[in-house]
Structure 1
Amino acid sequence: MNGPAFFLGTHQPGWLGKAGVPLFVSDRRLRPYKTLPRAAAPWACDSGGFTELQKYGRWTVSPIEYVARLHRYRDETGHLRWAAPQDWMCEPIVINGGTVGGQHFAGTHLSVTEHQRRTVANYAQLRDLAPDLPIIPVVQGWNTDDYLRCVDLYWSMIRLDLTTMPLVGLGSVCRRQGTHHAGHILRALHLRGLHRLHGFGFKTLGLAEHGHLLASADSLAWSVDARRSPPLPGHHTQHRNCANCLTYALQWRTNVLAAAAPRTKPALDDLEAAA
């Protein structure tokens, strides 16, 4: 199968034990669990940063708390491929606050530069607290030049050359992944030597357009699609819609990978073979 390694987003941590495909699960969903499921396939942990900044305009979870939970997830769940840092997204709505799509954003009221500085500083702190954890750095920005400056910031602040990292996250692009702007950002980062990029929140259009520039991607968009659609045939007696339905999610994943395959390079089979 062709395509970047794809992590299916889910707000159902119980799927870790039964989905059998790479999943992307948020710390916000995992943290209430007293007993964690054993993962049946590789998975990655989202820090929940978008929701944190949307609701509070700041991080309410300390780095010490976060790494303590990551250690637990790694040890008790197993197969943790990597975890996102507590980065700071740079979308204007996150910074300025307001309401979009029915979601209220508190606003951080900081600059893009300050969000980038805090993103790099947090990665350094997490790395110092838990050098044994597979936490990846993330480049943040809004314009192409912002992302390139963020690459430089990792070097100037903590002497980290991102071109040497096995994976680097690309933040603040999920709302414009199908645009030429997103492709321009990805190509600019490739020219700077960043060839192992993870695209947060990339779905069908984004993967079809830019998947060949990504090592991996994740998406929870299937749940939104399911909420707006009637349930699958035979599912109407089980639930009103399939927004929490594993069968729907797996079918959506298959369709996304099929749509993206002609434009991308082999990668997914390698990930699943490592399960």
Structure 2
Amino acid sequence: MSGNVKFYVGLHQPSDAQHFDLACISINRLRGRKKEVPCGEVLVDSGAFTEISKHGRYRHSVAEYAAELYRLYTSGVVKIAAAVAQDYMCEQFILAKTGLTIEEHQRLTIERYDALVDELQSLFQGEIPFHVMPVLQGFAPLDYVNHIRMYGERLKLEMWVGVGSVCKRQGDPRAIMAVLQAIHRERPDLLLHGFGVKITSLLHPGVRELLATADSMAWSFAARKQGRDANDWHEADRLVRRVKDAANQNFQPWQMEMFA
């Protein structure tokens, strides 16, 4: 990969998407919306972190999620580039919330992916007009390799695939690199998407080299931490500009230490 990551900026307010070409918006923000989201491409997130971390489960079934995606797309409310399957994260505090194991979360993630594809194919009566993104889950690098093998033939050649459970451990970008490298060794063809990638990792050339796409709301956290408005789209725009600037940099290997 070139390191030129396609970046979907995470947004709280769907109306703010008018200022961006690419946006990532949670289904929890889009559910029931009738006004058009003015954005060229929207990555619809399943709201996994909110649902599992707060409630220990999904409050909406796969069928309900599929029906809402179908309504949003066919009514022209959202130009959906991809919809993320309802995955189960594998951080320790999430496992404590559900009482399940990593392997059980991986199995549930695949089951929900299969069910979402089936539901959407039924609703659209055939081919789904946007990508349904499967998610690789785990914690240790080998967990992700095992999950790839659990998916089997579902993961088609050069498929766009999400990588979950990395956003909470990115104080050191080398941690996310270890996961991405393990996946890449097993399936170098896959186009990897990083969920909720922090600024340090977004700007790290080693991470960028292994990702095809990413999303982030790091701008909101940074603004709140620094006493600014965490809902101001201008803050999001500044992050987008930093990511684009990083894509134009030609880093030498020794310069990567700047971001370590």
Pick aligned residue for 1:144 from 138, 141, 150: 141
Pick aligned residue for 1:124 from 96, 114, 127: 114
Paired residue for 1:221? 218
Q: SS at 2:131's partner residue?
A: coil
Paired residue for 1:196? 191
Distance 2:100 2:49 in 1: 15
Instruction: Indicate yes or no: 2:44 matched with 1:45.
Output: yes
Percent identity of equivalent pairs:
35
Paired residue for 1:176? 169
Q: Residue 44 of structure 2 aligns to which amino acid in structure 1?
A: C
Alpha-carbon deviation of 1:51?
0.6
Paired residue for 2:203? 208
Runs of 5+ unmatched residues, structure 1: 97-106, 231-240, 265-275
Alpha-carbon deviation of 1:29?
0.9
Q: How many residues align?
A: 238
Distance 1:129 1:38 in 2: 24
Deviations 1:59-93, CA, capped at 9 Å, x for gaps: 12101100011112222224211011010000111
Alpha-carbon deviation of 1:256?
3.1
Q: SS at 2:90's partner residue?
A: coil
Distance 2:16 2:72 in 1: 14
Pick aligned residue for 1:258 from 237, 245, 254: 245
Q: Residue 160 of structure 2 aligns to which amino acid in structure 1?
A: L
Q: SS at 1:45's partner residue?
A: strand
Alpha-carbon deviation of 1:163?
4.8
Judged with a 3 Å threshold, the aligned counterparts in structure 2 of structure 1 residues 73 and 165 are, in CA distance, closer, same or farther, namely farther
1:72-91 equivalences in 2 (<5 Å): 72-75=71-74, 76-91=76-91
Distance 1:143 1:24 in 2: 26
Judge conservation of contact 1:208–1:263 (CA < 8 Å) in 2.
no
Judge conservation of contact 1:144–1:185 (CA < 8 Å) in 2.
yes
Judge conservation of contact 1:212–1:263 (CA < 8 Å) in 2.
no
Computed over aligned residues only, the root mean square deviation of the Cα atoms, in angstroms, reads: 1.9
51-60 or 72-81, which moves further after superposition? 72-81
Q: SS at 2:203's partner residue?
A: helix
Deviations 1:101-146, CA, capped at 9 Å, x for gaps: xxxxxx0010000000000111011111113142111100001111
Distance 2:198 2:12 in 1: 16
Q: Residue 67 of structure 1 aligns to which amino acid in structure 2?
A: A
Q: Residue 74 of structure 1 aligns to which amino acid in structure 2?
A: Y
TM-score, normalising length: structure 2: 0.85
Distance 2:201 2:43 in 1: 20
Judge conservation of contact 1:163–1:193 (CA < 8 Å) in 2.
no
Pick aligned residue for 2:179 from 160, 176, 185: 185
Q: Residue 72 of structure 1 aligns to which amino acid in structure 2?
A: R
Judged with a 3 Å threshold, the aligned counterparts in structure 2 of structure 1 residues 30 and 259 are, in CA distance, closer, same or farther, namely same
Judge conservation of contact 2:23–2:39 (CA < 8 Å) in 1.
no
Alpha-carbon deviation of 1:52?
0.5
